[in-house]
Amino acid sequence: ALFNLEGRTALVTGASSGIGHHIALTLAQAGARVVVAARRVDRLDTLVKEIELFGGHAYAVPLDVTSAASVSACFDAIEAQGLVADIIVSNAGVTVAKPALEQTEQDWDQVLDTNLKGCWLVNTEAARRLVKQKQPGSIINISSILGERVAGAVVGYSASKAGVIQFTKSLALEFARYGIRVNAVLPGYVVTDLNSDFLASEAGKKLESRIPFRRFCQMSDMDGPILLLASDAGKAMTGTSLAVDWGHL
C-alpha cells in the first residue's frame, strides 16, 4: 500500500520512447492514471492501448516541451478530463554528442531548450495547476549522472542536466509551502533501443570499466526509485538527487 498510486494522475513527458515509455507503464501498473505526452502522438496512442490492455487508464496528449504554449495546452487538456496531474515525471530530453568545437549554436539551443527550459516550463506549469486546485504533488525530474560527472562530447547536455539538478533544489525550497515535492533522478547509462548497439560496442565496454558493478542500467532499474519518489513512501523526500547508476564513477 505504501507504493500504491490509485487515485493519482501522473504526467510523463517524453513517453513516446525509451525510459519515459517504460516509466508510464510502471506508474500505470501501480494504479495511477497516466497522461502520456510527447511530439510523436502515434507512438503514444500505441502506449495507451498497451496500458488499457492490462486494465490501466491512460490518455495521450501532444506536447512540445520547448514551447510554453504547448506546455500550457497539455495541462489544459488534462483539466478538460477533470483531472489534475499530481505526479509529474519530466523526462523529455535530447542529446547531441559531438566534440565541443563542432557543436553549433543550433545544437546548444536544441539541447538547452528541451532539457533545461522544457523541464522548467513543465515544473512551473504543473505547480501552478496544483496550487490553483490546492493539491499536493510530486515532481520528478530525469536528469543524468552527466549532470554531475564528466564525459567528452556532451558539453551542452551536461550543462543542461546540471541545471536541472540545481533548479530542482530551488523549486523544492519554493514549492514546499504548497505541499509539492521536487526531486531529481540521475540515471547512469540506461540500455534503450537507441543506444543498445553503442553500449555493446568496444567504446561501450570502456564505459563499463567506470562502473563498479560492471553493468549498465536496465530501464526497470528506475522503477523502485520512481515509485518511491512518486508515492507516500517518499513523502519526506524533497530537493534530493537520486543517482541510479550501479555506482558509476
Within 13 Å, how many C-alpha atoms sit on residue 6's CB side? 4
Q: Which long-range contacts (CB under 8 A, 24 or more apart) does 62-66 make?
A: 62/37, 62/38, 63/13, 63/37, 63/38, 63/39, 63/92, 64/39, 65/13, 65/14, 65/90, 65/92, 65/114, 65/118, 65/119, 65/121, 65/122, 66/113, 66/114, 66/117, 66/118
144 binds ligand NDP (CB under 6 A): yes
Grid cell locating 196: 543498445
40 binds ligand NDP (CB under 6 A): yes
Contact stretch for ligand NDP (CB under 6 A) within 51-59, 61-69, 100-108, 176-184: 61-69
Query: 118 or 137: whose CB is closer to ligand NDP?
Result: 118
18 binds ligand NDP (CB under 6 A): yes
Instruction: Enumerate the H helices of 34-104 as residue ranges.
Output: 41-53, 68-80
93 binds ligand NDP (CB under 6 A): yes
- Rounded Cα gap, residues 4 and 8, in angstroms: 9
Q: Which of positions 230-249 make contact with ligand NDP (CB under 6 A)? A: none
- Candidates 56, 156, 187, 225: give the one binding ligand NDP (CB under 6 A): 187
Contact stretch for ligand NDP (CB under 6 A) within 36-44, 50-58, 224-232, 233-241: 36-44
190 binds ligand NDP (CB under 6 A): yes
At CA 147, angle to CA 213 and CA 126, rounded to 5? Answer: 115
Query: 133 or 218: whose CB is closer to ligand NDP?
Result: 218
- Rounded Cα gap, residues 122 and 37, in angstroms: 11
Q: Shortest gap between Cβ of 113 and ligand NDP (angstroms)?
A: 8
74 binds ligand NDP (CB under 6 A): no
Q: Let me know if 157 is a catalytic residue.
A: yes
Binding site for ligand NDP (CB under 6 A): 13-20, 38-40, 63-66, 91-94, 114, 118, 142, 144, 187, 189-190, 192, 194-195
**Residues carrying an active site annotation:** 157
